């Protein structure tokens, strides 16, 4: 995929209407600090489209990146940041829920998990939720450069087991530093565009 243009449209707050568009969408979900902003920037080949979070959990927005007028990458708010109030957590949940329930063009959801850690309760809930809503859940194991290459297959296998994921669930190891996995993610997006 050759990126010719990226346009950012931001939707803020639970009450805002989500854009009704004709292009297919893929969404990115994950815990705060998992590396979602870094991944989106790496995908777009840009340094700073998505803000890397010095203040995790701060932004409760859904960011739509329209790429080449072909596909939207939808950046969902990061979840599970411990130091936010219950109200904020609920607002987050409502926003994600509203998006998953109402988006008509959503084709797949990439769930980001840190390759070093076991998925926690929130991660598992998110994984189950994506599938319950009828979407393909694709796992991206982030920060792959933080472990030895030889450890990667074992970590991915363990992740799959913890999530009770089907054998055919796709898990892509990714590093924003080395760009490992970027082409695999673009290939999946190309498939979404072609379908
Ligand atoms: P977000 O909260 O999910 O958007 O996470 P960020 O993209 O802001 O990343 C959180 C922290 O992890 C930052 O300090 C990043 O520099 C770091 N980080 C993100 N991706 C990677 C990666 O692939 N490799 C390494 N080594 N660090 C990463």
In this structure, which residue's CA is closest to atom 18 in ligand 1? 35
Highest mean pLDDT among 4-18, 98-112, 140-154: 140-154
pLDDT in tens, 21-35: 789 999 999 998 999
Residue 135 CA to ligand 1 centre (angstroms): 26
Residue 171: closest CA among 155, 156, 188: 156
Atom of ligand 1 nearest to the CA of 36: 3
Give the tens place of pLDDT for each residue, 119-175. 999 999 999 999 999 999 999 999 999 999 999 999 999 999 999 999 999 999 999
Q: How far is the CA of 77 from the centre of ligand 1 (A)?
A: 15
pLDDT bucket at 57, cuts 50 / 70 / 90: very low
Specify whether the CB–CB gap between 18 and 102 falls below 8 A: yes
Buried b vs exposed e over 123-142: b needs ≥16 C-beta within 10 Å? beebbebbbeeebbbbbbbb
Question: Ligand 1: residues whose CB is within 6 Å?
Answer: 30, 32-38, 52-53, 56, 78, 142-143, 145-146, 175-177
Start-to-end CA span in the chain (Å): 15
Closest residue by CA, ligand 1 atom 10: 33
| Average pLDDT of the chain to the nearest whole number | 88
Contacts of 124 (CB under 8 A, 6+ apart): 162, 163
Q: How far apart are CA 112 and CA 59, in angstroms?
A: 18
The model's pTM is 0.92
The preferred substitution site among 30, 34, 38 for testing ligand 1, maximizing ligand atoms within 8 Å of CB, is 38
Q: Are 5 and 69 in contact (CB under 8 A)?
A: yes
Residue 9: strand pairing partners: 64
Give the ligand 1 atom nearest the CA of 144: 23
């Amino acid at each position: 995929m050759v990126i010719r243009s990226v346009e950012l449209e931001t939707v803020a707050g639970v009450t805002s209407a989500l854009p009704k568009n004709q292009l297919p969408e893929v969404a990115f979900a994950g815990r705060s600090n998992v590396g979602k902003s870094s991944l989106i920037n790496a995908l777009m080949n840009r340094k700073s489209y998505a803000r890397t979070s010095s203040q995790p959990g701060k932004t409760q927005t859904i960011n739509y990146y329209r790429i080449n007028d072909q596909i939207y990458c939808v950046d969902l708010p990061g979840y599970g940041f411990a130091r936010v109030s219950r109200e904020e957590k609920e607002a987050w949940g409502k926003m994600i829920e509203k998006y998953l329930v109402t988006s008509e063009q959503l084709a797949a959801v990439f769930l980001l998990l840190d390759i070093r850690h076991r998925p926690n309760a929130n991660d598992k809930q998110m994984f189950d939720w994506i599938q319950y809503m009828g979407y393909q859940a694709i796992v991206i194991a982030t920060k792959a450069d933080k472990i030895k290459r030889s450890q990667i297959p074992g970590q991915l296998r363990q992740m799959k087991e913890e999530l009770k994921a089907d054998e055919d669930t796709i898990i892509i190891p990714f590093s924003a530093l080395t760009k490992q996995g970027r082409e695999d993610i673009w290939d999946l997006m190309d498939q979404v565009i072609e379908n």
